[in-house]
């Protein structure tokens, strides 16, 4: 297991290097530059800006300069938010995204697993159809429809919760967390129902029931663990996605997370910011996939890593 873990971690470096290289050259290929605006800059000012940010150097030299910076965990200054470095921006935005994302995942996991299990136990029953219909609705309605509806009713009409903005306070978290959690809950519920039904039809469950165990014990002790496997493999990348912020949620609720950096950075050709968040997101995906594999081995006794 230790060997496997070390090997996986060793592979993470070439993967990240590939990611950095592809992202670095792709963003540079995009037309236009970070300082383009409707008001064109005089050539001498453009030259001064390029010199300040080393954009006047050959691309390969810029690439190696950037790699050197990355080794020192320095993502460089942002081109768009000029008073801040990319490190500072991520350090300020990530806690916000992490809180909202992790809470949403916690809510989705708890509700999704519960709903999925209930639906599986009452397969093809009214409850099953009702819950799965609700789940389908949750997956189909985009969050940019749900969010404004929630804001309108709960904040504007009833005045119960703030309609947007951010502070470290549960009141500001409720609506974004619910909006973010709804489709994930629905997806997990459907996954859980499918896998639970499959597990409930397997031989070892029949054996457990034959032993005379109560249905509750059969589910809790024998069915839950294998049924969770597909949910866990979905949760790894989903969690990485959730905790790095959602552009839509951040925009609608005016939340200062890091999700908008992906879009804003690309639109503004903020090379360093885009690279920073891409590397950060890439590293998280690698980490969570690795954790999912470890949890898999723990949940499924048939899996052994060498």
> Which among 60-68, 120-128, 130-138, 160-168 is the span making contact with another protein, rule CB under 8 A?
160-168
User: Among residues 115 and 219, whose Cβ is nearest to another protein?
Assistant: 219
Q: Is 292 in the site for another protein (CB under 8 A)?
A: no
User: Among residues 66 and 79, whose Cβ is nearest to another protein?
Assistant: 79
> Which among 7-15, 83-91, 128-136, 199-207 is the span making contact with another protein, rule CB under 8 A?
83-91
Q: Is 305 in the site for another protein (CB under 8 A)?
A: no
> Residues 123, 171, 202, 215: which binds another protein (CB under 8 A)?
171
> Residues 7, 54, 129, 221: which binds another protein (CB under 8 A)?
221
Supply the minimum distance, in Å, between the C-beta of residue 281 and another protein.
16
> Residues 15, 21, 40, 125: which binds another protein (CB under 8 A)?
40
> Which among 2-10, 15-23, 174-182, 293-301 is the span making contact with another protein, rule CB under 8 A?
293-301
Q: Are 281 and 240 in contact (CB under 8 A)?
A: yes
Q: Is 84 in the site for another protein (CB under 8 A)?
A: yes
Q: Are 167 and 256 in contact (CB under 8 A)?
A: no
Q: Is 193 in the site for another protein (CB under 8 A)?
A: no
Query: For residues 235-254, which are near another protein according to CB under 8 A?
Result: 251-254
User: Among residues 131 and 223, whose Cβ is nearest to another protein?
Assistant: 223
Supply the minimum distance, in Å, between the C-beta of residue 104 and another protein.
10
Supply the minimum distance, in Å, between the C-beta of residue 17 and another protein.
27
Angle between helical axes of 59-71 and 2-29 (0-180°, round to 10) = 140
CA distance 254 to 278: 22
User: Among residues 12 and 174, whose Cβ is nearest to another protein?
Assistant: 174
> Which among 131-139, 181-189, 198-206, 216-224 is the span making contact with another protein, rule CB under 8 A?
216-224
> Residues 19, 27, 115, 151: which binds another protein (CB under 8 A)?
151
């Amino acid at each position: 297991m230790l060997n496997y873990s070390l090997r996986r971690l060793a592979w993470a470096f070439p993967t990240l290097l590939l990611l950095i290289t592809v992202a670095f050259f792709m963003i540079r290929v995009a037309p236009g530059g970070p300082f383009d605006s409707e008001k064109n800059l005089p050539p001498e000012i453009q030259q001064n800006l390029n010199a300040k940010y080393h954009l006047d150097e050959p691309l390969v030299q810029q690439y190696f300069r950037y790699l050197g910076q990355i080794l020192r965990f320095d993502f460089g200054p942002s081109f768009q938010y000029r008073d801040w470095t990319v490190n500072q921006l991520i350090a300020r935005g990530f806690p916000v995204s992490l809180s909202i994302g992790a809470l949403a995942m916690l809510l989705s996991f708890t509700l999704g697993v519960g709903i999925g299990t209930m639906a599986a136990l009452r397969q093809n029953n009214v409850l099953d159809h009702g819950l799965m219909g609700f789940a389908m609705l949750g997956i189909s309605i985009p969050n940019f429809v749900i969010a404004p509806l929630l804001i309108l009713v709960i904040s504007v009409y009833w005045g119960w919760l703030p309609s947007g903005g951010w502070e470290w306070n549960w009141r500001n978290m409720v609506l974004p967390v619910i909006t973010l959690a709804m489709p994930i809950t629905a997806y997990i519920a459907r996954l859980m129902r499918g896998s639970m039904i499959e597990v409930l039809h397997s031989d070892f469950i029949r054996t457990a029931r034959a032993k005379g165990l109560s249905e509750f014990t059969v589910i809790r002790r024998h069915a839950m663990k294998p049924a969770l496997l597909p949910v866990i493999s979905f949760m790894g990348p989903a969690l990485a996605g959730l905790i790095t912020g959602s552009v839509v949620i951040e925009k609608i609720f005016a939340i200062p997370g890091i999700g908008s950096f992906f879009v804003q950075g690309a639109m503004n050709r903020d090379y360093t910011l885009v690279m920073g968040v891409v590397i950060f997101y890439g590293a998280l995906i690698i980490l969570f996939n690795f954790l999912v594999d470890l949890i898999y081995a723990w949940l499924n006794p048939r899996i052994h890593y060498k």
